[in-house]
Amino acid sequence: MTQPGFTGAGLDRADHLRLDPERLAALLARGDALLLELDVVDPVLDQDNALSWGPLNEATETLFLGLEDGRPLFAPLVQMEQFGQRAWSVFRILSLMRPRDAAIWGAARSLNEWHNRHGFCSVCGHATAPFRAGWGRKCPNCEAEHFPRVDPVVIMLAEHEGRVLLGRSPHYPPGRYSALAGFVEPGESIEEAVARELFEEAGVVVRDVRYLTSQPWPFPGQLMMACIGRADSDALTLDAELDDAFWCDRAGVEAALAGDPQAPFQAPPPYAIANTLLTRWLDGA
Amino acid sequence: MTQPGFTGAGLDRADHLRLDPERLAALLARGDALLLELDVVDPVLDQDNALSWGPLNEATETLFLGLEDGRPLFAPLVQMEQFGQRAWSVFRILSLMRPRDAAIWGAARSLNEWHNRHGFCSVCGHATAPFRAGWGRKCPNCEAEHFPRVDPVVIMLAEHEGRVLLGRSPHYPPGRYSALAGFVEPGESIEEAVARELFEEAGVVVRDVRYLTSQPWPFPGQLMMACIGRADSDALTLDAELDDAFWCDRAGVEAALAGDPQAPFQAPPPYAIANTLLTRWLDGA
């Protein structure tokens, strides 16, 4: 079964060590401890297209990623000039990376972006500082504790008589279409968010929503949850978030996933869960 | 099929109206518009145990909940003295409420707690103000936009030879046991979070994790995702988060869900997804 991108890091995150300053200091002092190399927050690859790692140094503030077969792995806490933006160049690098590396890097990227966007306490406005080995920030003024934000997003196919709904956002590369997606809001379930988003963006009413699989998405920190719902009608009413949308049959999806230049659309890349979703739909999910 | 609690509000959230000040003003001016009554953030019930609604008034800052059959529904934006705490009394009220009412109130409660915890900009520390009809806050200093936080949480049964793993946290009422649960972290999928949490809290290794269903949980704003995984061993190593845990067979779960005083544990209430999860497991999920 195709595994979604950004999964399979295989690290023991060792949560119990994060609040244990003595054992954490011992990990940092270990001769075999490794520090992930980053180009700001982008991955740095070695000649085998594997993630580059170096030794720890005392000048770098670190995030504890976890233990790999007992060896402690850290990432630097970097200062980002900008955030909330993706450099498209990172997607070329990602296409070269093995899944385990993409997953480890993804966690480091999400954490870094969260720290950079959360330097101040949302409760009282005071500057905060990292704690829990980088898995939180604490306010020295009001003592509020803040934890990394993970935003749940539904990404879904509506299905109608053997065809599935694909759409394109204005910022997509030419020819690219994908599954529709949207943030889950307070006060709704995954299944309700799927139905709401398909209705808002495309005017499509679905029922029998089923969940397939999930992935973390590090731009900056979404949890993508892939679903399929059944539509009773193929009528479309697009909102402003979509440039275009159409119902695609199996042959079209097969051609796109195979990279056929005659395909009716250009498929999302393998590390995006939309690709996994389309693959599993073809497989009968 | 048992529906999870806090779902089924049935409102059209009408996202396209949130950023349209003219149409929003028209909704607020409608004679049939309704304002949810709240006791700070707790529900207020009428003599039929339905949510109480009143007319809008100009002194109250509002959150736009959505349209019900075209009628606009609002909740007040309240000032909370405390947040991040649950009054146990609200659970007694919830047991009286119909599902649609609990779902509508849950959204209002989550939004209110988020506003109260996010009065300041996490990017620059400046005071922020509500926008998008209450579905966001904006910083007048750095112009950062902030959106309501939804924290994804996995809640799961490990299954071993016809029995499921139940645990109790120190803060549970006497006799109460439930499915284990934990927050999804940056850089992991739902399936990975299920495996990590079961291993961290109980030393149990699972595979073949399957998702069942979800619910929003308004204390303060989680998205609960119910899963089941298969364990190869029933050995337990409990961490400090659990007071106790045990493997329960079908007869024990049936007795607990039926409210039998001789049951091996007291089941979580019907509006908690752990109850739905146990019910669906009995039904063969």
Domain shared by A39 and A156, yes or no: no
| SS3 state at B212 | strand
pTM to 2 decimal places: 0.97
Interface of A with B in 121-140 (CB under 8 A): 121-127, 135
Distance from the first to the final alpha carbon of chain A: 11
| SS3 state at B223 | strand
Contact A106 B187 (CB under 8 A): yes
Residue matched to tokens 């190399």: A37
Domain shared by B155 and B277, yes or no: yes
In a domain, B251, yes or no: yes
Residue in B104, B122, B129 with CA at minimum distance from that of residue B216 = B104
The rounded distance, in Å, linking the Cα atoms of B107 and A35 is: 42
Residue in A221, A205, A283 with CA at minimum distance from that of residue A250 = A283
Question: What is the pLDDT at residue B149?
Answer: 98
Distance from the first to the final alpha carbon of chain B: 11
For residue B270, the distance in angstroms to the closest alpha carbon of chain A comes to 16
From A119, A150, A186, residue closest to B186, measured CB to CB: A150
Domain shared by B74 and B112, yes or no: yes
**Smallest CA–CA distance from A17 into chain B, residue:** B200
CB pairs under 8 A between A and B: 160
Domain shared by A105 and A180, yes or no: no
The rounded distance, in Å, linking the Cα atoms of A273 and A279 is: 10
Question: What is the pLDDT at residue A82?
Answer: 75
Beta bridge partners of B36: B53
- Check if the beta carbon of residue A150 is closer than 8 Å to that of residue B186: yes
Contact B7 A192 (CB under 8 A): yes
Most B CBs within 10 A among A15, A77, A122, A138, hence the mutation to make, goes to A122
Contact A121 B125 (CB under 8 A): yes
Domain shared by B48 and B60, yes or no: yes
Contact A119 B118 (CB under 8 A): no
In a domain, A1, yes or no: no
The rounded distance, in Å, linking the Cα atoms of A55 and B39 is: 56
From A104, A187, A213, residue closest to B110, measured CB to CB: A187
Can you say whether the dihedral through the CA atoms of A153, A159, A163, A165 is positive or negative? Answer: negative
Specify the long-range contacts of residues A122-126, CB closer than 8 Å, at least 24 apart: A122/A146, A122/B117, A122/B118, A122/B119, A122/B120, A122/B121, A122/B122, A122/B146, A123/B117, A123/B118, A123/B119, A123/B120, A124/B120, A125/B119, A125/B120, A125/B121, A125/B125, A125/B126, A125/B127, A126/B125
Domain shared by A168 and A190, yes or no: yes
- The amino acid that residue B200 corresponds to is E
Please give the residue range of the domain that contains residue B97.
Answer: 15-117
Check CB contact of B15 with chain A, cutoff 8 Å.
Answer: yes
Check CB contact of A186 with chain B, cutoff 8 Å.
Answer: yes
From A125, A187, A213, residue closest to B120, measured CB to CB: A125
Domain shared by A265 and A246, yes or no: yes
- Taking CB atoms and an 8 Å cutoff, what residues of chain A touch B191? 7, 213-214
Question: What is the pLDDT at residue B133?
Answer: 97
Domain shared by B169 and B138, yes or no: no
In a domain, A218, yes or no: yes
Check CB contact of A218 with chain B, cutoff 8 Å.
Answer: yes
| SS3 state at B190 | helix
- Check if the beta carbon of residue B188 is closer than 8 Å to that of residue B261: no
The rounded distance, in Å, linking the Cα atoms of B84 and B97 is: 23
Can you say whether the dihedral through the CA atoms of A113, A180, B214, A188 is positive or negative? Answer: positive
Domain shared by A96 and A111, yes or no: yes
Q: What ipTM was reported for this prediction? A: 0.97
- Check if the beta carbon of residue B267 is closer than 8 Å to that of residue B257: yes
Most B CBs within 10 A among A6, A188, A242, hence the mutation to make, goes to A188
DSSP B232: S
Domain shared by B109 and B232, yes or no: no
In a domain, B90, yes or no: yes
Contact A117 B122 (CB under 8 A): yes
Interface of B with A in 241-280 (CB under 8 A): none
**Smallest CA–CA distance from B214 into chain A, residue:** A189
B195 φ/ψ angles, rounded to the nearest 5 degrees: -65, -45
Q: What's the alpha-carbon Rg for chain A, to the nearest Å?
A: 21
pLDDT digit string, tens, across residues A33-43: 999 999 999 99
In a domain, B6, yes or no: no
In a domain, A8, yes or no: no
- Residues written for chain B: 285
Cβ neighbours, 10 Å, residue B245: 20
Give the domain-ending residue among B102, B129, B148: B148
Interface of A with B in 19-58 (CB under 8 A): none
Residue in A225, A220, A224, A222 with CA at minimum distance from that of residue A209 = A225
Question: What is the pLDDT at residue B86?
Answer: 62
- Taking CB atoms and an 8 Å cutoff, what residues of chain B touch A7? 188-189, 191-192
- Taking CB atoms and an 8 Å cutoff, what residues of chain B touch A196? 13
In a domain, B257, yes or no: yes
- Taking CB atoms and an 8 Å cutoff, what residues of chain B touch A189? 4, 6-7, 213-216, 223
DSSP B134: G
CATH code at A188?
3.90.79.10
- Taking CB atoms and an 8 Å cutoff, what residues of chain A touch B242? none
- Taking CB atoms and an 8 Å cutoff, what residues of chain A touch B214? 189-191
Packing angle, helices A250-257 and A273-282, rounded to 10: 130
Residue matched to tokens 């019910």: B279
Beta bridge partners of B73: B34, B66
Domain shared by A200 and A253, yes or no: yes
From A127, A152, A188, residue closest to B152, measured CB to CB: A152
**Smallest CA–CA distance from B3 into chain A, residue:** A189
Most B CBs within 10 A among A223, A228, A238, A273, hence the mutation to make, goes to A223
Residue ranges of chain A whose pLDDT lies below 50: none
Tell me how many domains chain B contains.
3
Domain shared by B159 and B266, yes or no: yes
Residue in A280, A9, A17 with CA at minimum distance from that of residue B192 = A9
- Which helix (H) or strand (E) element contains residue B9? none
| SS3 state at B16 | helix
CA distance to A191, A274, B49, B180, B284, per residue, from B241 (Å)? 30, 36, 36, 10, 29
| DSSP letter string, chain A | -PPPTT-----B--HHHHT-HHHHHHHHT-TT-EEE-EETTEE-B-TTSPBPEE---TTS-EEEEEEETTEEEEEE-PPPSS-S---THHHHHHTTS-HHHHHHHHHHHHHHHHHHH-SB-TTT--B-EEEGGGTEEE-TTT--EE----EEEEEEEEEETTEEEEEE-TTSPTTB-B-EEEEPPTT--HHHHHHHHHHHHH---EEEEEEEEEEEETTTTEEEEEEEEEES-------TT-SEEEEEEHHHHHHHHTT-TTSSSBPPPTTSHHHHHHHHHHTT-
In a domain, A10, yes or no: no
User: How high is the mean pLDDT in each 10-residue block of chain B (285 residues)?
Assistant: 90 96 95 96 96 94 97 96 72 94 98 97 98 98 98 98 97 95 98 98 98 97 98 96 96 98 97 97 94
Check CB contact of A152 with chain B, cutoff 8 Å.
Answer: yes
Cβ neighbours, 10 Å, residue B172: 16
**Smallest CA–CA distance from A111 into chain B, residue:** B186
